Structure 1
Amino acid sequence: MKLSARNMLQGTVSDVRKDGVAAQVQIDIGGGNVITSTITADSANRLGLENGKAVTVVVKASDVILAVDD
C-alpha cells in the first residue's frame, strides 16, 4: 500500500462503538496516547475492526484542526 499522506501512526484498536451508521474507533498508539476516529459502521465492518487488531492511522495534514485554551 502506497499513500501520499506522510503522517502515519501504528496502533492497536482498543474500542469500537457502533451507533446506527457511525462507529467510533479508539486506537492505542502507545505512550498512553489514544486516537479516536469516527468512521461509518459499514467501514468498521468491512475492515474487521475489533479490539486488539493492529491498524495504521493515516492523518492528512490539511484535515487536522488545532485548538488552544484561552
Structure 2
Amino acid sequence: MNISARNIFKGTIASIIIGAVNAEVNLALEDGTTLCSIITIGAVKQLGLQEGMAAYGIIKASSIILGSNMQDARISARNIMSGTIRKIVDGPVSTEVDIEIGAGNTLSAVITHESARKLGLKEGGDACAIFKASSVMLGVN
C-alpha cells in the first residue's frame, strides 16, 4: 500500500477502549511515545484490531499544528510531540517543517508561511507538533 500521507509510524496497539460509536486506540511506538487515535467501532472490526498487534499511525502533514514553548499550554488535543526542527522548506504560501521526535522518527508538518514566520522557526530549534486523535488514521498489513 502506498499512500500520500507523510507521517507513518509503526507501533503496537497498547489499548482499545470501545465507546458507543467510536473507539480510542492507543498505539505505542518503539521509543515509548504513544499515539492516540479515535476511529469508528466499525473500523476497529474491519481492521481486526486487537491489543498487542502491530499497526501504523498515519497523520497528514496538513493536520498538524506547530507550537513553541508548550510547557504551560493546556489544550484538548491528545497528541503533543516535542522535538528538534531538522529541516524547513519555506515557500511563499506554505512552509514544510520536519521535526525529529525521537528514535529516528521524523514528523512533517505543513503550515502557512506567515505562521512559520510568527513562530520564528529555525533549523536546530525546538518545536511541538500537536494533532487531534481524530486526525490519526490507523492501518494494518
Distance change (3 Å), C-alpha of 1:65 and 1:20: farther
Indicate the residue corresponding to 2:14 in structure 1. Answer: none
Q: Where does structure 1 lack aligned partners over 5 or more consecutive residues?
A: none
Separation (CA, whole Å) in 2 of partners of 1:38 and 1:12: 16
Matched to 2:90, the amino acid is K
Matched to 1:8, the amino acid is I
Matched to 2:110, the amino acid is T
Please give the TM-score of this superposition, normalised by the length of structure 2. 0.46
Q: How many residues align?
A: 69
Answer yes or no: is 1:55 the counterpart of 2:97: no
Secondary structure of the 1:25 match is strand
Answer yes or no: is 1:9 the counterpart of 2:81: yes
Question: Percent identity over the alignment?
Answer: 39
Separation (CA, whole Å) in 2 of partners of 1:18 and 1:26: 11
Larger radius of gyration: 2
Separation (CA, whole Å) in 2 of partners of 1:43 and 1:30: 24
C-alpha displacement of 1:68: 5.3
Please give the TM-score of this superposition, normalised by the length of structure 1. 0.87
Secondary structure of the 1:29 match is strand
Indicate the residue corresponding to 1:36 in structure 2. Answer: 108
What is the alpha-carbon root mean square deviation over aligned residues?
A: 1.4
Q: Where does structure 2 lack aligned partners over 5 or more consecutive residues?
A: 1-72
**Residues 41-64 of structure 1: CA distance to partner in whole angstroms, max 9, x if unpaired?**
100000001111111111211122
Indicate the residue corresponding to 2:11 in structure 1. Answer: none
- Greater relative contact order, per chain length (Cα 8 Å cut-off, separation 6+): 1
Secondary structure of the 2:110 match is strand
